[in-house]
Structures are given as C-alpha cells and as structure tokens.
Amino acid sequence: MSIEERFTQNLTDHFKENKKGLIPKCDHQKTIDDLKAAADNSHAKGRHGYYLLEKYEVLQCGPTEKLIKRRSTRQESPLYYVSIEETFDVVKSAHISTGHGGRDRMLKELQKKYANIPTKAVELFKSLCQECQKKRKRPMTKGVVVRPILTKEFSSRGQVDLIDMQSMPSGSNKK
C-alpha cells in the first residue's frame, strides 16, 4: 500500500467515527449538486437547501466546480472544502512548502486556503512522512536520559532503536 493509500484509508476509517471536517468524494459532489439546485430559484428550497446556501458557495474554476466556504463579498479569497480523496495532495504540498513543517506550521499554512483540513489529517501525514520519521525526536520519557549520539558512525536509525529499548515499559529487551 502506498503512503497515499494508507493516508486516505485511515481518514476514511476516521470519518466513520468522526465526521467533523472530512467529506468523502461522493458527498462532496452531492453537496455541489444540491447547492446548485438550491441556488436555482425556479424550485422551492427545502431546509437543507437553505442550510447549504448559508454555508457554501460553488466556485467555477474553468471546467471544474469547487466547493468553498460562503464568502460575504466576492473579493474575499476562497476557502476550499476538499474531499477525503483530495486531502493527501493538499496536506502534502503544505508539508513540502513549509520545509517538512510541523503540525502547527502546516495547519497555519492550510487554514489560509482550506476550510476542512482536520488536525488529525496533518498529524497522520506527519507520521507517514519517512523523512520526518527519520529525524523525529522521541518525546522524553521520565527517568530516561537520552544522550545524543554525535559520532557519524551511528545512523539515525540506530539512534531511534536505542531510545526505543530504553523507554519500552515491558519490551522483550528488558528481561
């Protein structure tokens, strides 16, 4: 499974428990269609129609229709709602543009342009980025002195393994 597949699968699973922010692709398209129907004044709007009009706008970008947060003026820059399937690319580009930035920097970057990227998605991406995993510092465990290994002979992989053994509460290495 590629990182993208794992990411999307994980978010899809997460959506089943917590729908906040995340929109599967089919719902995303349906929202656009319902919104367009609600905006058509020749039909009566239901409560759902009013709700959608209150919350969203459809932005025509060439041949594609984008779902955005309703703006108070046309000059306001759009905040996009993306589907779960699009989230990987969006989070990835924020991660790269911030130079493998951490959670908060990525969220700050994403919030300028997107309306529905949950913190969970950012944390998930970070945990799947191999480059970040290599240089990730383990959180300090009480009572464990983590000494940095300065010699070049030790690869960063070796360092992670060493800390792992020390902080494992009942791992096989602590017989």
If you write DSSP's letter for every residue of 106-125 in order, what string do you get? HHHHHHTTBS---HHHHHHH
The verdict on 146 binding Zn ion (CB under 5 A) reads no
From 31-39, 110-118, 122-130, 152-160, span contacting Zn ion (CB under 5 A)? 122-130
The verdict on 129 binding Zn ion (CB under 5 A) reads yes
Using CA atoms, how far apart are residues 129 and 135, in angstroms rounded to an integer? 10
CA-closest candidate to residue 78, choices 123, 114, 131: 114
Smallest separation, CB 95 to Zn ion (Å): 6
For Zn ion, which residue of 66, 70, 100, 105 counts as binding (CB under 5 A)? 100
The verdict on 131 binding Zn ion (CB under 5 A) reads yes
Smallest separation, CB 101 to Zn ion (Å): 8
- For residue 60, the 8-state DSSP code is E
3-state secondary structure of 86: helix
For Zn ion, which residue of 39, 79, 132, 149 counts as binding (CB under 5 A)? 132
The verdict on 32 binding Zn ion (CB under 5 A) reads no
Q: Which H or E element spans position 96?
A: helix 84-97
Residues in contact with Zn ion by CB under 5 A are 100, 129, 131-132
